[in-house]
């Protein structure tokens, strides 16, 4: 009887649990409908506070029109999944906008009126296959005054920047007046070269974006005064400026007005660069006495002149370079920096939303002795960095030699800094007095980051973003001009997870390989010179054959044979060193695969099995105890 009651109670408990679970789900669905928890490391699926503020500040409703050819995209799973994520994100921000944003989904089927509308507003068709089929995945942002902003193609590669790109266009639509910015640059736009139509020409992409977003006002390098109605002054790679122009910039900075200065010790993208190096040419900046008046200094090469350049092995960029021996090698070039989130200040609203920056041959910003200003680092290197003489990037420089000679000095160097505090004019007045003011400066020790080659790539669908360089510049302007909406936007992060440990092993092995390679190539070259000299020998003990051939003595022939064996052995060792570098990385991959595919699942299985056995044993003990009590 007791067993029957226990069985009935168990069945009742199971049924009650099922109904209770269903009831809880219904209640939670009603109360928490739409609630989400984002547990990803970089909060990839959350709307940034900056986006929420931007939407809340809209005075008039804005319509988002998502064009997606669903039928044509059904055969491309990756693109279909990305389009779904875009749609879900748009639905989410519209739901949080309190009616200020409205979403309209449009399916532009081939030869339909919707397809004609998509083409008329500038949405790019994407070729699906070789049969001529196309699809559309783009976004149109419309205001109430017929102002439109377009994202021609929502590329999956740009998913980390999706929120920023959408917010930027919403902000442009909602603005009544654009911020006026001044652009004082000594770097001319590259002219069109008919011999190389693929070469970049015209204004860089960042300048084109600034012209769209702001009231863009060029300021000539010979200007004697700065327009007083500017919201922000931007100075790019100043060189050979007249004193009156330097005085005008000095007065502007003293007034406390927002100023951004890009000064580069080795500007590789300057068409007027005069100094040539292994990876290109470069030019140095010259701001006269202004740098010292701002309380800053850039380390100088006291032997050869020019400002020192930063090299950072921790953020080096992977490139292909040809060595002096003519060998094409994959190298981690320490002068071109691929900076990630850990190199960006999380405390500054300009850099905290960003994920990646690409920098080329930057300088190091340091405080000058007795400076009255203070600097707040915004972008910085790792501690595995050093300063290089610019001549090592000039005629005497080579990429592989930089890696061989690299010695980090355990110092993290500042590349971008915010400068605040009291300062004095760099130029005394007629009485010898210097005007005083307060700094509101952003100093960027690299001008190459403005170049297209560092942060965008051309594709069939237009320019594709590969880094946050453009977002950095726009964030700076927005924040300094008093509109910090875009600056507060959070980067959506990267869905990729790089193998950082593999990268560290590759860099360490690469350094060892290059040093050993240099020694082996030197031995091979010396030995080959000896062989050549020996074969050209016409001295004592060498007979001349009738056809002009040289006959070596037995001793010389033996020496030649030994030298040839030595060359073969050195070349074999060279291949072994390179193979060992690859084998070290492969071994790590095998260990990781063993850990994740075998050991972790086995550990989980053992734990679950032990837990199940323990639970079964306890239940059995309870049953035996109950049976013993009933007896």
Q: What is the DSSP letter of 178?
A: P
For residue 367, what are the β-bridge partners? 296
CATH number 3.40.50.880 is the correct assignment for the domain at 180-190+202-482: yes
Beta-strand ranges (E) seen in 523-566 are 543-544, 550-551
Beta strands 366-367 and 280-282 are: unpaired
| CA gyration radius, the chain | 33
Contacts of 83 (CB under 8 A, 6+ apart): 68, 70, 73, 137, 154
For residue 289, give both structure tokens: 């006495």
Instruction: Tell me the CA end-to-end span of the chain in Å, nearest whole number.
Output: 13
- The DSSP string of 10-32 is HHHHHHHHHHHHHHHHHHHHHHS
Instruction: Tell me if residue 277 falls in helix, strand or coil.
Output: strand
Give residue 10's pLDDT: 67
CATH class of the domain at 49-151: alpha beta
Distance CA 138, CA 66 (A): 6
pLDDT at 546: 47
Number of Cβ within 10 Å of residue 611's Cβ equals 10
pLDDT of residue 540: 44
Tell me the C-alpha distance between 551 and 201, whole Å. 61
- Which 3 state secondary structure label does DSSP give 276? strand
Architecture of domain 505-630: Orthogonal Bundle (1.10)
User: 288: which 2 tokens?
Assistant: 């006269």
Q: What are phi and psi of 599, to 5 degrees?
A: -65, -50
User: In three state form, how does the secondary structure of 405-461 look?
Assistant: HCCCCCCCCEEEEEEEEEEECCCCCCCCCCCEEEEEEEEECCCHHHCHHHHEEEECC
Question: What is the mean pLDDT, run by run of 10 residues, along the chain of 631 residues?
Answer: 59 72 73 61 65 82 92 84 89 87 92 89 79 84 86 82 81 78 89 52 85 92 93 94 95 95 93 62 90 95 89 88 64 90 89 90 95 95 93 71 85 96 93 92 96 84 81 90 60 54 64 65 65 55 47 67 73 70 69 77 83 80 71 56
Is residue 357 within 8 A of residue 342, CB to CB? The reply is no
Nearest 5°: the CA angle 391, 396, 400 is 105
């Amino acid at each position: 009887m007791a067993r029957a009651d226990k069985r009935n109670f168990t069945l009742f408990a199971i049924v009650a649990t099922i109904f209770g679970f269903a009831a809880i789900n219904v209640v939670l669905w009603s109360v928490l409908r739409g609630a989400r928890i984002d547990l990803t490391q970089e909060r990839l699926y959350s709307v940034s506070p900056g986006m929420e503020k931007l939407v809340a500040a809209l005075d008039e409703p804005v319509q988002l029109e998502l064009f997606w050819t669903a039928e044509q995209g059904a055969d491309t799973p990756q693109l279909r999944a990305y389009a779904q994520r875009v749609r879900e994100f748009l639905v989410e921000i519209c739901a949080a906008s309190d009616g200020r944003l409205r979403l309209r989904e449009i399916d532009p089927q081939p030869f339909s009126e919707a397809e004609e509308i998509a083409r008329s507003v500038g949405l790019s068709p994407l070729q699906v296959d070789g049969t001529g089929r196309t699809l559309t995945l783009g976004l149109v942002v419309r205001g109430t005054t017929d102002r439109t902003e377009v994202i021609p193609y929502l590329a999956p590669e740009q998913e980390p920047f999706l929120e920023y790109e959408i917010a930027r266009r919403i902000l442009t639509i909602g603005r009544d007046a654009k911020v006026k910015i001044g652009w004082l640059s000594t770097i001319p736009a590259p002219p069109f070269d008919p011999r190389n139509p693929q070469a970049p020409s015209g204004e860089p992409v960042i300048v084109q974006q600034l012209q769209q977003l702001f009231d863009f006002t060029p300021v000539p390098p010979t200007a004697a005064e700065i327009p007083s109605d500017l919201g922000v002054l931007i100075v790019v790679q100043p060189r050979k400026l007249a004193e009156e122009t330097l005085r005008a910039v000095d007065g502007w900075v003293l007034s406390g007005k927002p100023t951004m200065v890009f000064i580069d010790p080795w500007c590789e993208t300057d068409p007027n660069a005069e100094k040539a190096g292994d990876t290109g040419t470069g030019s140095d900046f010259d701001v006269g006495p202004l740098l010292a008046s701002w309380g800053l200094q850039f380390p100088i090469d006291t032997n050869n002149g020019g400002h020192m350049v930063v090299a950072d092995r921790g953020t080096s960029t992977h490139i292909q370079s040809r060595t002096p021996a003519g060998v094409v090698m994959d190298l981690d070039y320490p002068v071109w920096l691929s900076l990630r989130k850990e190199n960006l200040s999380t405390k500054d609203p300009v850099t905290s939303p960003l994920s990646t920056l690409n920098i080329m041959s930057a300088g190091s910003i340091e405080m000058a002795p007795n400076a009255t200003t203070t600097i707040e680092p915004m972008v910085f290197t790792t501690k595995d960095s050093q300063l290089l003489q610019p001549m090592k990037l000039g005629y005497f420089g080579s990429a592989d030699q930089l890696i061989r000679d690299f010695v980090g000095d355990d110092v993290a160097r500042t590349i971008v800094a915010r400068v605040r505090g009291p300062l004095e004019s760099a130029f005394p007045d007629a009485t010898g007095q210097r005007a005083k003011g307060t700094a509101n400066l952003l100093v960027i020790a690299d001008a190459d980051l403005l170049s297209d080659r560092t942060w965008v790539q051309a594709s069939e669908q237009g320019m594709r973003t590969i880094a946050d360089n453009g977002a950095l510049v726009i964030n700076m302007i927005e924040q300094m001009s008093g509109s910090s909406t875009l600056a507060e936007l959070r980067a959506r992060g990267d869905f990729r997870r790089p193998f950082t440990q593999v990268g560290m092993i590759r860099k360490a092995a690469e350094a060892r390989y290059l040093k050993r390679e240099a020694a082996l190539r030197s031995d091979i070259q010396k030995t080959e010179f000896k062989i050549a000299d020996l074969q050209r020998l016409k001295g004592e003990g060498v007979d001349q054959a009738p056809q002009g051939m040289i006959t070596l003595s037995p001793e010389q022939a033996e020496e030649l044979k030994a030298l040839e064996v030595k060359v073969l052995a050195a070349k074999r060792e060279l291949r072994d060193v390179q193979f060992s570098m690859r084998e070290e990385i492969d071994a790590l991959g095998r260990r990781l695969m063993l850990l994740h595919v075998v050991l972790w699942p086995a550990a989980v299985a053992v734990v679950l099995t032990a837990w199940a056995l323990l639970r079964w044993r306890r239940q059995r003990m309870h049953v035996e105890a109950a049976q013993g009590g009933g007896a």
